[in-house]
Amino acid sequence: MKSFDAIVIGAGQAGPFLAARIVEKGMKVALIERKFLGGTCVNAGCMPTKTLVASARAAHVARNGAVYGVNIGGEIAIDMKVVRARAETVTLNARDGLIGWFAGMDGMTVIYGHARFEDPKTVSVNGETLTAPRIFLNVGARPVIPDLPGINDIDYLTSTSIIYLDRLPRHLAVIGGSYIGLEFAQMYRRFGAEVSVIEHGPKLASREDEDISDAIADVLRSEGIDIHTGASDIAFARSRDGITVATDSARIDASHVLIATGRKPNTDDLGLDAAGVITDKHGYITVDDSLATNVDGIWALGDCNGRGAFTHTSYNDFEIAAANLLDGDDRKVSSRILAYALYIDPPLGRVGMTEKQARASGRKIMISTRPMSRVGRANERGETKGFMKVIADAETKKILGAAILGIEGDEVIHGIIDAMNAGTTYPALQWSVPIHPTVSELIPTLLGDLKPV
């Protein structure tokens, strides 16, 4: 049996950085990863997919160059092998960076293999037994495959496998109208494929307010994406030319199907029962406000704990654990103000409460909206789709939430994120003097138009 001061299972966006901090304290750490360092973000999420999004945007800009007085003769051709290779290079560079970082770190032992608990202080991997007083789980999540008629009879894609696609689909059917599915839908439409989005619910991106969901649908439809919401009785069958996707109201002749119906935690094969670690009905590991599980000496970080499904929340889990365990701090998950983005083009930047959540809270609220068509930067760029929206507490004057669906919305939202984290009231932001011409310069104006509802 090999002894360590800490064992980290999973090398996503929390585990490696926590392992490095522990090593800096002069302790020995075993970092166990069953596949690739970097987790979903580096290997099958943010980095490769946003690289693909960039290629798709380049195609879109080139295709519409004449609007800006830039004429490109002939059809815009997409070389999917180059597109794929570029995304793969970005992934490999990031992964190799982690490998090199850990190789030069005394006290760090990186083990590739599948770890399972033997008891609360012991895990087995590759036939070896390891023990440590502290064990951290950062095992991530994977795509959910729904039990739909005919699904096992077709060759479907997931958000992981589609990034390896090196040829353009004739017609991509995307099953699921949430964040992952919508990004791939627009991406492949811009590459030149026909695209249909099939969503069981009544709206796309159902977490958002209805006005945001409707605006997202308008953006996608304007680019020729076929959207089917409220779809039921979804079924699949092989056809002569590919795959038939049938719903209660539509029949789609697709060449490829992407299943984008959510993700589930990688917790079902860790031997959690042997350690006594409790999970909820969805398989997420139950943690308290400090990310500790019900078992002393075991913590769960990142997607597997159900407290955030983003790279930045996973990294913040590392920050919380490191601050509390190594720096004597008392940081809490509940102090985190949730923010995220949807990387269609234009992007959606979101922070805090939606309007629906704010109304349900019983607060007296104020709301302001402004179309992107009234933003100078948007008009200069010729990208006026979307709108800005902010919600505030009428009594405390604190900002409760905001959504910016529009050009550079994923960056502009950070001004509001920072203000909310600092506890700044909205009247204080009205007196800022932002740079012109930017999208951010409209934040004081947006706040000045807040009205009670």
Residues annotated as catalytic (active site), given as ranges: 436
Contact 236, 153 (CB under 8 A): yes
Q: Which of 276, 364, 351, 303 is nearest to 138 (CA)?
A: 303
Which segments of 347-400 does DSSP mark as H helices, in order? 355-360, 376-381
Hey, is 299 helix, strand or coil? Answer: strand
Contact 358, 400 (CB under 8 A): yes
Angle formed by the axes of helices 80-103 and 46-63, nearest 10°? 150
Q: How many CA atoms lie within 13 A of 201 on its CB side?
A: 12
Phi, psi angle pair for 447, to nearest 5°: -70, -35
Q: Is the preceding omega at residue 437 within 30 degrees of 0, hence cis?
A: yes
Q: Which of 289, 311, 314, 287 is nearest to 298 (CA)?
A: 287
Contact 15, 136 (CB under 8 A): yes
E strand intervals along 19-147 = 29-33, 108-112, 116-119, 122-125, 128-131, 134-137, 141-143
How far is it, in rounded angstroms, from Cα 418 to Cα 349? Answer: 13
Angle formed by the axes of helices 179-191 and 46-63, nearest 10°? 40
Residue 245 to residues 221, 238, 251, 367, Cα–Cα distance (Å): 20, 9, 6, 41
Buried b (16+ CB within 10 A) or exposed e, 312-330: bbbbbbbbbbbebbeeeee
How far is it, in rounded angstroms, from Cα 380 to Cα 377? Answer: 5
List the beta bridge partners of residue 112.
Answer: 33
Q: Is the preceding omega at residue 346 within 30 degrees of 0, hence cis?
A: yes
How far is it, in rounded angstroms, from Cα 128 to Cα 126? Answer: 6
What does DSSP assign to residue 393? E
Hey, is 267 helix, strand or coil? Answer: coil
